[in-house]
């Protein structure tokens, strides 16, 4: 019923910038948290940044000061501005959201996007 679609990934040189976006579609009342995770080959998926409905944010230590997460609630979209990219940022980036479903006040879903690949060359 709810779908997340990421876009904006690609190849960038070290020190460069990328902007990822993730749009939520479907029928839902609201989304509490939207977040970006990433997973490199052979490694576990890790949280990169998250943003709550009230605008509060969280960043992992590895990206703090370089990445900025934001959201546009009118468009149900979350963004990740990646500046000063490093080769260790190379990974598949996944969008996450927890929509409250229309018609079922007891149901809060955990939804993942399909992922978008970011490759940072050294």
User: According to the 3-state scheme, what is the secondary structure of the chain?
Assistant: CEEEEEECCEEEECCCCEEEEEEEEECEEEEEEEEEEEECCCCCCEEEEEEECCCCEEECCCCCCCEEEEEECCCCEEEEEECCCCHHHCEEEEEEEEEEECCCCCCECCEECCCEEEEEEC
Given this model, what pLDDT does residue 101 score? Answer: 87
Given this model, what pLDDT does residue 106 score? Answer: 87
Given this model, what pLDDT does residue 115 score? Answer: 97
Given this model, what pLDDT does residue 67 score? Answer: 98
Please identify every stretch of the chain with a pLDDT value under 50, giving residue numbers as ranges.
none
Given this model, what pLDDT does residue 20 score? Answer: 98
């Amino acid at each position: 019923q709810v779908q997340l679609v990421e876009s904006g990934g690609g190849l960038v040189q070290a020190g460069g910038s990328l902007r990822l976006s993730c749009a939520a579609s479907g029928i839902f009342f609201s989304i509490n948290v939207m977040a970006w995770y990433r997973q490199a080959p052979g490694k576990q998926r890790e949280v990169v940044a998250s943003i709550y409905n009230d605008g509060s944010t969280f960043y992992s230590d590895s990206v703090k000061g370089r990445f900025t997460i934001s959201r546009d609630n009118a468009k149900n979209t979350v963004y990740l501005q990646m500046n000063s990219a490093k080769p260790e940022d190379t990974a598949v980036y996944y969008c996450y959201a927890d929509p409250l479903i229309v018609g079922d006040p007891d149901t809060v879903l955990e939804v993942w996007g399909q992922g978008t690949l970011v490759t940072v060359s050294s």
